[in-house]
């Protein structure tokens, strides 16, 4: 029996159950939950980095966005609040649309 020890989406146990396979789960406390969401974010980011086409990239970005939604809620914010902070930062510092790659800054 494979051992996963990782956070999974809410309906995964239901999906496994339909295959009539036996499985074990437990509910994480809030501290564990945040830790596992962070771990999951690295897993999904790696999958995005390794995606080989636009469709797979979009799928992995959607997974990352789902994690961002959950983390925002853990930190007492809505995704709208996160978006508001993102917009404010973009107004003050810009976004990444101009594709600027900083090479060096001369020290005095």
pLDDT tens-digit map of 44-87: 999 999 999 999 999 999 999 999 999 999 999 999 999 999 99
CA distances from 18 to 4, 10, 14, 22 (A): 19, 14, 6, 10
Cβ–Cβ contacts within 10 Å for residue 44, how many?
A: 19
- Name the DSSP class of 6: S
Average pLDDT, the chain: 96
pLDDT greater than 90 at residue 1: no
Interval 16-38 mean pLDDT? 96
Task: Identify whether the C-beta of residue 70 lies closer than 8 Å to the C-beta of residue 37.
Answer: yes
Nearest to 64 by CA among 46, 76, 82, 91: 46
d(CA 21, CA 4): 15
pTM of the model: 0.88
Q: Residue ranges per domain, the chain?
A: 28-78
The average pLDDT across 86-104 equals 96
């Amino acid at each position: 029996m494979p051992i996963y020890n990782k956070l999974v989406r809410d309906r995964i146990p239901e999906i496994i159950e339909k295959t009539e396979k036996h499985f074990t789960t437990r509910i994480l406390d809030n501290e564990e939950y945040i830790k596992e969401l962070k771990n999951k974010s690295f897993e999904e980011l790696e999958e995005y980095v390794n995606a080989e086409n636009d469709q797979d990239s979009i799928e992995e970005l959607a997974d990352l966005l789902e994690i961002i939604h959950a983390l925002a809620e853990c930190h007492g914010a809505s995704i709208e609040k996160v978006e508001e902070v993102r917009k404010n930062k973009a107004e003050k510092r810009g976004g990444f649309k101009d594709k600027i790659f900083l090479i060096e800054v001369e020290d005095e």
